[in-house]
Protein backbone atom coordinates (compact mmCIF):
# COMPACT_ATOMS: atom_id res chain seq x y z
CA UNK A 1 0.00 0.00 0.00
CA UNK A 2 1.29 3.42 -0.88
CA UNK A 3 1.19 5.63 2.20
CA UNK A 4 1.90 9.32 2.11
CA UNK A 5 2.17 11.07 5.47
CA UNK A 6 0.68 14.55 5.65
CA UNK A 7 0.18 17.04 8.46
CA UNK A 8 -1.72 15.37 11.27
CA UNK A 9 -3.64 18.57 12.10
CA UNK A 10 -5.21 19.00 8.67
CA UNK A 11 -7.73 17.01 6.67
CA UNK A 12 -5.78 15.16 4.00
CA UNK A 13 -6.83 15.38 0.37
CA UNK A 14 -7.87 11.72 0.50
CA UNK A 15 -10.15 12.19 3.49
CA UNK A 16 -11.58 15.38 2.01
CA UNK A 17 -12.31 13.45 -1.17
CA UNK A 18 -14.47 10.91 0.64
CA UNK A 19 -16.26 13.66 2.52
CA UNK A 20 -14.97 13.11 6.04
CA UNK A 21 -15.06 16.63 7.35
CA UNK A 22 -17.05 18.23 10.15
CA UNK A 23 -18.37 21.65 9.19
CA UNK A 24 -20.61 22.75 12.06
CA UNK A 25 -18.97 21.23 15.16
CA UNK A 26 -22.33 20.94 16.99
CA UNK A 27 -21.14 18.83 19.95
CA UNK A 28 -20.76 20.54 23.34
CA UNK A 29 -18.73 17.92 25.20
CA UNK A 30 -15.65 17.75 22.99
CA UNK A 31 -12.46 19.73 22.41
CA UNK A 32 -12.84 20.91 18.83
CA UNK A 33 -9.25 22.13 18.83
CA UNK A 34 -8.26 18.46 18.86
CA UNK A 35 -10.37 17.64 15.79
CA UNK A 36 -8.44 15.03 13.81
CA UNK A 37 -9.16 12.82 10.84
CA UNK A 38 -6.45 10.48 9.52
CA UNK A 39 -3.87 12.73 7.89
CA UNK A 40 -2.70 10.19 5.35
CA UNK A 41 -3.27 9.11 1.79
CA UNK A 42 -3.86 5.42 1.13
CA UNK A 43 -5.15 3.28 -1.69
CA UNK A 44 -8.72 2.55 -0.46
CA UNK A 45 -8.83 -0.69 -2.46
CA UNK A 46 -6.05 -2.15 -0.33
CA UNK A 47 -7.56 -1.38 3.06
CA UNK A 48 -8.95 -4.67 4.35
CA UNK A 49 -9.38 -3.99 8.06
CA UNK A 50 -10.26 -0.92 10.10
CA UNK A 51 -9.56 -0.45 13.79
CA UNK A 52 -11.86 2.13 15.38
CA UNK A 53 -10.92 3.51 18.79
CA UNK A 54 -12.67 6.08 20.95
CA UNK A 55 -11.68 9.72 20.40
CA UNK A 56 -8.78 11.96 19.49
CA UNK A 57 -6.07 12.13 22.18
CA UNK A 58 -5.74 15.05 24.62
CA UNK A 59 -2.46 15.89 22.89
CA UNK A 60 -2.63 15.78 19.09
CA UNK A 61 1.01 14.70 19.06
CA UNK A 62 -0.17 11.32 20.40
CA UNK A 63 -2.48 10.59 17.41
CA UNK A 64 -1.93 7.51 15.27
CA UNK A 65 -0.33 9.33 12.36
CA UNK A 66 1.59 12.03 14.22
CA UNK A 67 5.33 12.34 13.73
CA UNK A 68 7.81 10.49 15.92
CA UNK A 69 6.57 7.78 18.27
CA UNK A 70 3.07 8.92 19.37
CA UNK A 71 1.29 7.19 22.24
CA UNK A 72 -1.50 5.78 20.03
CA UNK A 73 1.15 4.17 17.84
CA UNK A 74 3.05 2.68 20.78
CA UNK A 75 0.03 1.05 22.39
CA UNK A 76 -1.49 -0.10 19.10
CA UNK A 77 1.72 -1.62 17.76
CA UNK A 78 2.22 -3.40 21.07
CA UNK A 79 -1.33 -4.76 20.86
CA UNK A 80 -0.57 -6.21 17.43
CA UNK A 81 2.70 -7.65 18.67
CA UNK A 82 0.80 -9.27 21.55
CA UNK A 83 -1.34 -10.88 18.86
CA UNK A 84 1.70 -12.24 17.03
CA UNK A 85 1.78 -9.62 14.27
CA UNK A 86 5.36 -8.58 13.45
CA UNK A 87 5.12 -4.81 13.02
CA UNK A 88 7.13 -1.89 14.30
CA UNK A 89 4.97 1.08 13.36
CA UNK A 90 1.55 2.22 12.22
CA UNK A 91 3.06 2.64 8.76
CA UNK A 92 3.94 -1.05 8.62
CA UNK A 93 0.42 -1.98 9.72
CA UNK A 94 -0.98 0.28 7.00
CA UNK A 95 1.13 -1.62 4.50
CA UNK A 96 -0.51 -4.85 5.73
CA UNK A 97 -3.97 -3.45 4.97
CA UNK A 98 -4.98 -2.08 8.38
CA UNK A 99 -6.35 1.44 8.79
CA UNK A 100 -6.81 3.32 12.07
CA UNK A 101 -9.33 5.96 13.04
CA UNK A 102 -11.50 7.16 15.90
CA UNK A 103 -15.25 7.07 16.35
CA UNK A 104 -15.23 10.65 17.67
CA UNK A 105 -12.94 12.97 15.76
CA UNK A 106 -12.52 15.57 18.51
CA UNK A 107 -11.00 15.21 21.97
CA UNK A 108 -12.97 14.45 25.12
CA UNK A 109 -13.69 17.00 27.85
CA UNK A 110 -14.34 14.35 30.49
CA UNK A 111 -14.25 10.61 31.07
CA UNK A 112 -17.32 9.80 28.99
CA UNK A 113 -18.79 11.02 25.71
CA UNK A 114 -22.44 11.96 25.28
CA UNK A 115 -24.66 9.68 23.24
CA UNK A 116 -25.60 12.56 20.94
CA UNK A 117 -21.96 13.24 20.20
CA UNK A 118 -21.28 9.62 19.27
CA UNK A 119 -24.35 9.61 17.03
CA UNK A 120 -23.38 12.86 15.32
CA UNK A 121 -19.81 11.76 14.68
CA UNK A 122 -20.95 8.35 13.42
CA UNK A 123 -22.02 10.18 10.25
CA UNK A 124 -18.34 10.91 9.57
CA UNK A 125 -17.28 7.37 10.43
CA UNK A 126 -19.93 6.01 8.08
CA UNK A 127 -18.52 7.94 5.13
CA UNK A 128 -15.04 6.89 6.13
CA UNK A 129 -15.92 3.18 6.15
CA UNK A 130 -17.87 3.46 2.90
CA UNK A 131 -14.65 4.54 1.16
CA UNK A 132 -13.16 1.06 1.56
CA UNK A 133 -14.89 -1.47 -0.73
CA UNK A 134 -12.70 -4.42 0.22
CA UNK A 135 -13.13 -4.40 3.98
CA UNK A 136 -13.15 -7.80 5.62
CA UNK A 137 -13.04 -6.91 9.31
CA UNK A 138 -13.81 -4.11 11.74
CA UNK A 139 -12.21 -3.97 15.16
CA UNK A 140 -14.33 -1.86 17.53
CA UNK A 141 -12.10 -0.84 20.39
CA UNK A 142 -14.35 0.09 23.28
CA UNK A 143 -17.95 1.08 23.94
CA UNK A 144 -17.85 4.33 21.95
CA UNK A 145 -16.71 2.56 18.79
CA UNK A 146 -19.35 -0.14 19.29
CA UNK A 147 -22.09 2.48 19.72
CA UNK A 148 -20.91 4.38 16.65
CA UNK A 149 -21.14 1.33 14.39
CA UNK A 150 -24.56 0.46 15.81
CA UNK A 151 -25.78 3.94 14.88
CA UNK A 152 -24.48 3.45 11.36
CA UNK A 153 -26.06 0.03 11.04
CA UNK A 154 -29.36 1.25 12.49
CA UNK A 155 -29.57 3.98 9.86
CA UNK A 156 -28.74 1.60 7.04
CA UNK A 157 -30.46 -1.63 8.04
CA UNK A 158 -32.76 -0.79 10.94
CA UNK A 159 -30.88 -2.99 13.38
CA UNK A 160 -27.78 -3.02 15.53
CA UNK A 161 -24.75 -5.12 14.67
CA UNK A 162 -23.50 -5.66 18.22
CA UNK A 163 -26.05 -6.57 20.92
CA UNK A 164 -26.13 -4.77 24.27
CA UNK A 165 -24.10 -6.21 27.12
CA UNK A 166 -20.70 -6.19 28.72
CA UNK A 167 -17.89 -6.56 26.21
CA UNK A 168 -16.44 -9.61 27.95
CA UNK A 169 -19.79 -11.37 27.49
CA UNK A 170 -20.45 -10.48 23.86
CA UNK A 171 -16.95 -10.64 22.40
CA UNK A 172 -16.03 -13.93 20.78
CA UNK A 173 -19.37 -14.28 19.02
CA UNK A 174 -19.70 -13.70 15.30
CA UNK A 175 -21.17 -10.38 14.18
CA UNK A 176 -21.39 -8.93 10.69
CA UNK A 177 -21.90 -5.51 9.17
CA UNK A 178 -23.00 -6.67 5.74
CA UNK A 179 -20.23 -9.07 4.76
CA UNK A 180 -17.70 -7.46 7.11
CA UNK A 181 -16.81 -9.40 10.27
CA UNK A 182 -17.11 -7.21 13.37
CA UNK A 183 -15.03 -7.68 16.52
CA UNK A 184 -16.18 -5.81 19.65
CA UNK A 185 -13.18 -5.38 21.90
CA UNK A 186 -11.52 -3.03 24.39
CA UNK A 187 -9.75 0.29 23.92
CA UNK A 188 -6.13 -0.17 22.86
CA UNK A 189 -5.22 3.50 22.28
CA UNK A 190 -3.85 5.29 25.30
CA UNK A 191 -2.17 4.77 28.67
CA UNK A 192 -4.77 2.40 30.15
CA UNK A 193 -3.57 -0.28 27.72
CA UNK A 194 -0.47 -0.83 29.84
CA UNK A 195 -2.45 -1.05 33.09
CA UNK A 196 -5.31 -3.47 32.43
CA UNK A 197 -3.56 -6.74 31.66
CA UNK A 198 -6.71 -8.87 31.37
CA UNK A 199 -8.14 -6.54 28.74
CA UNK A 200 -4.79 -6.50 26.98
CA UNK A 201 -4.96 -10.28 26.61
CA UNK A 202 -8.48 -10.08 25.18
CA UNK A 203 -7.45 -7.34 22.75
CA UNK A 204 -4.68 -9.60 21.47
CA UNK A 205 -7.14 -12.45 21.01
CA UNK A 206 -9.53 -10.23 19.05
CA UNK A 207 -6.77 -8.87 16.80
CA UNK A 208 -5.57 -12.41 16.17
CA UNK A 209 -9.05 -13.45 15.04
CA UNK A 210 -9.42 -10.38 12.86
CA UNK A 211 -6.11 -11.13 11.15
CA UNK A 212 -7.43 -14.59 10.27
CA UNK A 213 -10.31 -13.01 8.31
CA UNK A 214 -7.74 -11.39 6.03
CA UNK A 215 -6.18 -14.69 5.10
CA UNK A 216 -2.93 -13.60 6.76
pLDDT in tens, 84-108: 999 999 999 999 999 999 999 999 9
Q: How confident is the model at residue 58 (pLDDT cuts 50, 70, 90)?
A: very high
How many whole angstroms separate alpha carbon 16 and alpha carbon 20?
Answer: 6
pLDDT band at 41, cuts 50/70/90? confident
Q: Under a CB-based contact definition with an 8 Å cutoff, are residues 160 and 154 in contact?
A: yes
Residue 40 clears pLDDT 50, i.e. is over it: yes
In this predicted structure, what is the pLDDT of residue 13?
A: 47
pLDDT at 215: 80
Determine if residue 200 is left, alpha or beta; phi over 0 gives left, psi from -120 to 50 gives alpha, anything else beta: alpha
Helix orientation angle between 197-213 and 71-82, rounded to the nearest 10 degrees: 70
Which residues, listed in sequence order, are joined to residue 103 by a DSSP beta bridge?
none
Alpha helix stretches (DSSP H) within 46-188: 71-82, 90-95, 115-130, 143-157, 167-170
- For the residues 74-87, what does the mean pLDDT come to? 97
Q: Give the burial class of 191: count Cβ atoms within 10 A of its Cβ; 0-12 exposed, 13-18 middle, 19 or more buried.
A: exposed
pLDDT band, residue 19 (cuts 50/70/90):
low
**For the chain, how long is the longest CA-to-CA vector?**
42
d(CA 78, CA 143): 21
When the pLDDT of each residue in the chain is averaged and rounded to a whole number, the result is 90
CATH topology of domain 4-213: Uracil-DNA Glycosylase, subunit E (3.40.470)
CA 153, CA 81: separation in Å to the nearest integer? 31
**What would the mean pLDDT of 99-121 be, rounded to a whole number?**
95
Distance between CA atoms of residues 74 and 31, nearest Å: 23
pLDDT of residue 15: 58
pLDDT of 18 > 80? The answer is: no
pLDDT value, residue 72: 97
- For 12, the 3-state DSSP assignment is coil
Per DSSP, the three-state class of 40 is strand
Rounded distance between C-alpha atoms, residue 140 and residue 80, angstroms: 14
With cut-offs at 50, 70 and 90, classify the pLDDT of residue 14.
Answer: low
- Over residues 170-205, the pLDDT tens digits come to 998 999 999 999 999 999 999 989 888 999 999 999
Residue 44 three-state SS: helix
Return d(Cα 172, Cα 17) in angstroms, integer.
35
Q: Work out the average pLDDT over 74-80.
A: 97
Amino acid sequence: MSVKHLSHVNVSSFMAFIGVKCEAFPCSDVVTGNYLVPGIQVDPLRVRAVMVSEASPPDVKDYYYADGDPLFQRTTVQAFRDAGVDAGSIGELLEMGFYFTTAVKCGKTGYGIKTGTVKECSLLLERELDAFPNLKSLLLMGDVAIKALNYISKRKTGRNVVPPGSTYKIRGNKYFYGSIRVFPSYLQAGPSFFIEQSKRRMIAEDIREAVKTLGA
